[in-house]
Chains A and B, each alone.
Chain A
Amino acid sequence: MIKRALQRRQFAAPRQYVVYAAAVLIFGLFAVVLRDDGFVTASNLLNIGRQAAPIAVMAVGMAFALGAAEIDLSIGSVAALSSLVVADAVGSLGFAAGVAITLAIGMGIGAVNGFIAVKVRIPSFLVTLGTLGIVSGVARNLNNLQSLPIRNDTYLNVFGAGSLGPISSLLIWTVIVGVVGHLVLHQLRWGRHVLAVGADRSAAGALGIKTDRVRIAALIASATAASLAGMLLAGRLAIGRHDLGENLLLTVIAAVVIGGTNLFGGRASVAGAIAGSIVMAMLNNGLILMGLRVADQLIARGAIIILAVALSMREQKET
C-alpha cells in the first residue's frame, strides 16, 4: 500500500509540470509551422507577452477562487468596467486616485460576490453569473458603448506601452502579481487555508478555520486581479471600452486549469496559471498568424480549450 503510494507519487510529481512541457511543445510547433509567418520574431514574441499579461493577472486571481472551490465568472466584465472607470477617473482625478478608485471598485465587486455566495448560500457560479450581467450592463451604460481615450502619460507608462529599462511594464506587472500570488499561496497561512477550505470545507471548519472569511477573500482576490487586468488592457490600447477583456473568461479558466489548479478546489498553482496563460496567448497568436477568420478562431479556440482542460483534468484525477 505504502509502496504503491510512493510509486504513484513519483509518477505524479512531474504531472504538474505538464503545462511547462506544453508551453515548450507549442512554441516549438508554431516556430516550425509558422516560421514564414513571423512567429519567432522579437516583435511577435513581445506581442504574445503583451497578450499574455492581462490573462495571467486574471489567472492568478482565479487560481485563488478555484483553489477555495469557488469560481468567479464575472472577471471579464470586471476587467471591462475597470478599463472604462480607470480611463475616466485617471482623466478627471489624476493617476493615483484613478487607479486607487478602480481597484477599490474591483475589490467591492468581489466582496459583494463573496458576501452573497457565503451569507445567502448561493453557489458562486450563480452569483458571479449575475454580477457578470450587471457589471456588463453598467459598463455599457457608462459611456454609451463609446471608447474613452486615455491621455495620462504616467498611466500609459505604468500600465501600458512603458518599460523599465528593456522590460515592458506589462511584463513587470505579470511578474509582480505572479510572485506575490505564489508567496501568498505557499508561504502564508491564508494561502494554506484557502486550499484547505477548497479541499474540504466542513473539515476546515471543524478545525476552526473561518471558512466564510476565506471564501469571501478568495473572491475579492479574483475580482481585484480582474480589475488590475482591465487596467492593463486599457493601458495597452490607451483606451477604456465596455468590452475590453470581456471574452477572456474561458481563456483564463483554461489557463488556470491547464496550469494544474483543480477546477473543484483544494489544489492551485500560481506559476502554472502564468505558464497556462502564456500557452493560451501563444495559441491565440498562432491561430491569427495561421490566417484563420475570426469565426474559425473562435471555433478552434473553443475546441482547444475543451481538449486541454479535459486532458489536464484527467491528469489531476489520477493523482
Chain B
Amino acid sequence: MNAAAPAAALEAEGLCKSFRAVRALDHVDLTLRYGEVTALLGDNGAGKSTFVKCVAGVYAPDAGVLRVDGVATSITTPDAARALGIETVHQTLAVIDTLDVAENLFLNREHTRGGPIGAWLGVLDKKRMRSETEHILERLGIRIPSLRHSMGALSGGQRQAVAIGRATAWGRQIVMLDEPAAALGVEQAARVLELILNLREGGAAVLLITHNMDRVSEVCDRAVVLRQGRKTAEVAVGDVTKDDLVGYITGAKSQQAHS
C-alpha cells in the first residue's frame, strides 16, 4: 500500500474460526479503509459469511485480533459491534417476517418515550419510529407500499432493500454487506450499488460480498479472495481483470498474499 492510502477503519489480523473439523477461517488478515469499498470474494463455503459474523459479534473468533480505528477490541456481541459503528446486512437478512417495516428497521434500537422512566420500562415511541422510517426509506430511495405491511408480505427484493436500509441508515462508518443484491432485480440492484457508492462518498469503509464480477469492477476498490478459509489474494481491482479474479476464486491462479 502506498503512503496516501486512507486510514484503516477495521483491521482483522490472524482471524481463525473452526466449526468442529471445518476451518472456516484460517489466519485471515483483512483491512477495511475509510472511503474504500473492499470486495470479499470466494466460492461457496470459503468462509466469507463466517468472517462477517466474527466482525459483527455473532460468532466469537477462536483466535486473532480485531482493531477498530487502530484500537484492539473484542467484539463479543452484536450490540458491541453496533456500538463501534459496525453495521451488517447478513446473508440471511435477519429480518423478522411477522414484524412490519418500521419495527424491523428499529429492532433493538427502538426509540422510547416518557423520559427516564419510559426509557427504563422501554415504552415504545411508535410515532417517531414510523415517521423516521418514512424519511429513511425516502432518503435511500426505497419504495415500500405501506409501512404497516409485515415483512413477510413483501417481495424478496423489498425485504433485502429494508435490510440494507437498516444497515446504511445510521451514518455508520463501517458497513458490511453479505451478498446484498442476490435477490434483486436489475433496477433494485443498481439502486444498491448507488447506495454503496454513496456510503463510500460519505467516507465509510464498506465490505461487499458478491459473486458478480461486474459489480466488483463497478464499485470496489480492492478485492480480497478467500479459499477454504485462507486468504489467497488481495489486489487493487484496477490492477486485475475479471478473469484474474475468477482465477483466484477457483484456485486456478494464485498470489502470495501481501499486506
Kindly list chain A residues whose C-beta atoms are within 8 Å of the C-beta of B94: 200, 202-203, 206-207
Beta-carbon contact of B97 and A206 below 8 Å: no
**B153:A9 contact, CB within 8 angstroms:** yes
Q: Is the CB of A189 within 8 A of B122?
A: yes
Would you call B82 and A187 a contact (CB within 8 A)?
Answer: no
Known A-B contacts A5-B153, A8-B153, A205-B58; the reply to A193 vs B108 at CB < 8 A is: yes
CB distance from A209 to the nearest CB of B (A): 5
Which chain A residue lies CB-closest to B119? A189
A79 to chain B, nearest CB (A): 28
In Å, the complex CA distance between A205 and B58 comes to: 8
Contact residues in A for B112 (Cβ distance below 8 Å): 189
Q: A199: which of B99, B122, B124, B154 is its contact (CB, 8 Å)?
A: B99
Bound-state Cα–Cα, A203 to B110, Å: 16
**A200 in contact with B96 (CB, 8 Å):** yes
Q: Which residues of B contact A199 (CB under 8 A)?
A: 96-99
List the B side residues contacting A188 at CB < 8 Å: 121-124
Does B116 lie at the interface of the complex (its beta carbon under 8 Å from any beta carbon of A)?
no
In the bound complex, CA of A200 to CA of B95 (Å)? 8
Q: Are B154 and A5 in contact, with the CB atoms below 8 A?
A: yes
Q: Which residues of B contact A14 (CB under 8 A)?
A: none
**Would you call B145 an interface residue if the criterion is a C-beta within 8 Å of the partner chain's C-beta atoms?**
yes
Contact of A196 (CB < 8 Å), options: B56, B90, B96, B124: B96
Interface residues of B in 81-119 (CB under 8 A from A): 81-82, 88, 90, 92-99, 103, 107-108, 110, 112
Name the CB-closest residue of A to B80.
Answer: A208
How many Å lie between the Cα of A9 and that of B153 in the bound state? 8
Residue A27 at the chain B interface, CB threshold 8 Å: no
- The interface on chain B, measured as residues whose beta carbon lies within 8 A of the other chain's beta carbons, has a size of 34
Q: Which residues of B contact A1 (CB under 8 A)?
A: 155
Which secondary structure dominates where chain A touches chain B?
Answer: helix
Interchain CA distance A267-B152 in the complex, whole Å: 12
Question: Across the interface, do B98 and A267 meet the contact criterion of CB distance under 8 Å?
Answer: yes
Number of A-B contacts (CB under 8 A): 82
With A5-B149, A188-B121, A188-B124 already in contact, the answer to whether A209 and B97 are too (CB < 8 A) is: no
Closest CB of chain A to B137's CB: distance in Å? Answer: 14
Judging by beta carbons under 8 Å apart, are B155 and A195 in contact?
no
Contact between chains at A192 and B78 (CB < 8 Å): no
How many A residues touch B, CB cutoff 8 Å?
27
The minimal Cβ–Cβ distance linking A30 to chain B, given in whole angstroms, is 34
Query: In whole angstroms, what is the CA distance A275 to B93 when docked?
Result: 36
From A192, A202, A206, B99 is in contact (CB under 8 Å) with: A192
Q: Does A2 contact B (CB under 8 A)?
A: yes
Chain B CB within 8 A of A190 CB: yes
Closest to A268 in B: B98
Interface 0/1 of B68-83, CB less than 8 Å to A? 0000000001110110
B57 at the interface (CB under 8 A from A): yes
Complex contact A266–B98 (CB within 8 A): yes
Q: Does A6 contact B (CB under 8 A)?
A: yes
**Which residue of the partner chain B has the closest CB to A6?**
B145
Q: Does B2 contact A (CB under 8 A)?
A: no
B259 at the A interface (CB under 8 A): no
List, in ascending order, chain A residues with CB within 8 A of B155's CB.
1-2, 5
Question: Distance in Å from the Cβ of A3 to the closest Cβ of chain B?
Answer: 8
Task: For residue B88, give the distance in angstroms from its CB to the closest CB of chain A.
Answer: 8
State in angstroms the CA–CA spacing of A9 and B149 once bound together: 8
Bound: A2/B57 CA distance, A: 35
| Chain A, range 186-221, C-beta contacts under 8 Å to B | 187-190, 192-193, 195-196, 199-200, 202-209
Residue of B nearest to A196 (CB): B96
Q: Does B108 lie within 8 Å of A209, measured CB to CB?
A: yes
B256 at the interface (CB under 8 A from A): no
Instruction: Return chain A residues, CB-CB under 8 Å to B98.
Output: 195, 199, 262, 266-267
Residues of B near A196 (CB, < 8 A) are 96, 99, 107
B38, chain A: closest CB distance, angstroms = 21
B108 contacts across to A, CB distance below 8 A: 193, 204, 207-209
Contacts of B145 in A (CB 8 A): 2, 5-6
Which of B57, B90, B149 is in CB contact (< 8 Å) with A208? B57
Residues in chain A near residue B95, CB distance under 8 A: 203
**1/0 per position for B148-164, CB-CB distance to A under 8 A?**
01000111000000000
Whether the Cβ atoms of A190 and B78 lie closer than 8 Å is: no
Q: Cβ of A5: which chain B residues have Cβ within 8 Å of it?
A: 145, 149, 153-155
- Nearest 3 A/B pairs, CB to CB: A189-B122, A208-B78, A208-B79
New A-B contacts (11) at CB < 8 Å, excluding given A187-B123, A189-B124, A208-B57: A2-B145, A188-B122, A188-B123, A192-B99, A192-B110, A199-B99, A203-B93, A204-B108, A206-B88, A208-B77, A266-B98
What would 26 A/B residue contacts be, using CB atoms closer than 8 Å? A5-B153, A187-B123, A188-B124, A189-B110, A189-B112, A192-B103, A192-B107, A192-B124, A199-B96, A199-B98, A200-B94, A203-B93, A203-B96, A204-B96, A204-B107, A204-B108, A206-B53, A206-B56, A206-B78, A207-B78, A207-B107, A208-B82, A209-B108, A266-B97, A266-B98, A267-B98
